[in-house]
Amino acid sequence: MIRKELPFSRIAIAGRRHTPDLFGPISTLASLLSDRGFQVSLEYETAEMTQISGYTVHSAETLGVNHDLVIVIGGDGTMLSFARRLAPFRVPIVGINRGRFGFLTDIPQTFMEVMVSDIVDGRFLEEKRVMISATVSRDTEAMLTEIHAVNEIVIGRNSCGQIADFSISINDAYAYSLRADAIIVTTPTGSTAYALSAGGPIIAPGLPAFAIVPVAPYGLTHRPIVLPNTIDVQITVERGHDVSLHGDSHMRVALQEGEKVVLKRSPYHMYLLHPERYDYFSMLRQKLQWPELPDRLSKEIDLDSSSVSDS
């Protein structure tokens, strides 16, 4: 949807870690917003890295308490890191691309000033993305840990581990077992990340679904499965050493044989703000380099259309 009111007054800027040339864009953006009358803050590590002074500094953990909007300059990994922290506070996030693909950071740095100005003026599209939660437990013990992820939960062996055996249940009903290097349970947002490279489907962001995608399964019949995100998926590590759970490729929890991971829709969401001309499939076409119609074919289609209309 497009909002016409101006809901922002306190805006934070955060940058990708260990990026030495962020001083220029962050300084430019901070000055632009400050001159427009917004209360501008810098994330602590960003301020320390760039040595930009004159602005309030907040830790990444407190950005959601103190701000109405967070602008991230970096790649998708940086966006995911801040999105997880901001999700409990329902604070929207804007991404300016300094990474490689930029599925989430959809504003090119060259258009940063124009597009950010439009967004803070109320000309934007707001998108609410579902997240996934994972809880780890044993039959004889209560819940051991819980994490929330934007992209995916991956359960599998580490680099030195052997192939693992898993059993999968849907809503407490046994479904099937498989041997594989890993299992990915992905959200629509994560369907263009690790799951895509493992042969999973692309899931449109608004679709209320998750996908279970096996990684290098020991059996040719195992294929990705798309499920409604209203159900619970239980994955048990039946056999395997050096197996871990990973959330968004960042959070890691070591798993033992017999431990069960329950995956379900998280109560949190990621709130993204896009330029008002943003189109998901146009973005996919650019990032994945899908071919467009050749000029000759386009002309042939135009001629055919003209013939039909003339008749």
pLDDT in tens, 158-204: 876 678 999 999 999 999 999 999 999 999 999 999 999 999 999 99
CATH number at residue 82: 3.40.50.10330
| Cβ atoms within 10 Å, residue 238 | 14
Q: Is residue 243 domain-shared with residue 283, that is, in the same domain?
A: no
**Residue 299 counted as domain residue:** no
Instruction: Name the maximum alpha-carbon separation found in the chain.
Output: 76
Q: Is residue 141 domain-shared with residue 106, that is, in the same domain?
A: no
Q: Is residue 119 domain-shared with residue 138, that is, in the same domain?
A: no
**Residue 26 counted as domain residue:** yes
Q: Is residue 139 domain-shared with residue 205, that is, in the same domain?
A: yes
Q: Is residue 167 domain-shared with residue 203, that is, in the same domain?
A: yes
**Residue 294 counted as domain residue:** no
Write the DSSP assignment of 5-34 as a string of letters: S---SEEEEEE-TT-TT-HHHHHHHHHHHH
Shortest CA distance to 96 belongs to which of 84, 88, 104, 86?
104
Classify the C-alpha dihedral 158-161-162-165 as positive or negative. Answer: negative
**Residue 141 counted as domain residue:** yes
Q: Is residue 261 domain-shared with residue 280, that is, in the same domain?
A: no
Domain count of the fold of the chain: 2
Q: Is residue 185 domain-shared with residue 237, that is, in the same domain?
A: yes
**Residue 152 counted as domain residue:** yes
Which residues of the chain carry a pLDDT beneath 70? 1-6, 139-143, 160-161, 294-311
Residue 138, pLDDT score: 76
Residue 206, pLDDT score: 93
Q: Is residue 167 domain-shared with residue 233, that is, in the same domain?
A: yes
Would residue 76 show up in a list of annotated catalytic residues for this protein?
A: yes
Residue 16, pLDDT score: 86
Task: Provide the token pair at 72.
Answer: 């991230």
Shortest CA distance to 195 belongs to which of 205, 182, 186?
186
CATH number at residue 175: 2.60.200.30
Type of residue at 260: K
Shortest CA distance to 187 belongs to which of 149, 218, 225?
149
Q: What is the pLDDT of residues 68-102, one digit of tens each?
A: 999 999 999 999 999 999 999 999 999 999 877 78
**Residue 199 counted as domain residue:** yes
**Residue 200 counted as domain residue:** yes
| Cβ atoms within 10 Å, residue 61 | 9
Between 23-35 and 112-120, two packed helices, what is the crossing angle to 10 degrees? 30
Q: Is residue 141 domain-shared with residue 114, that is, in the same domain?
A: no
Domain that holds residue 93: 10-123+276-287
Q: Is residue 79 domain-shared with residue 139, that is, in the same domain?
A: no
Phi-psi region of 296 (alpha: psi -120 to 50; beta: other; left: phi over 0): alpha
- Compute the C-alpha angle 45/46/48, nearest 5°: 60
Q: Is residue 114 domain-shared with residue 174, that is, in the same domain?
A: no
**Residue 281 counted as domain residue:** yes
Q: How far apart are CA 58 and CA 12, in angstroms?
A: 8
Shortest CA distance to 132 belongs to which of 16, 238, 235?
235
Q: Is residue 101 domain-shared with residue 135, that is, in the same domain?
A: no
**Catalytic residue, candidates 76, 106, 181, 248:** 76
Shortest CA distance to 116 belongs to which of 69, 50, 67, 75?
69
CA atoms within 13 A on the CB side of 37: 4
Residue 19, pLDDT score: 79
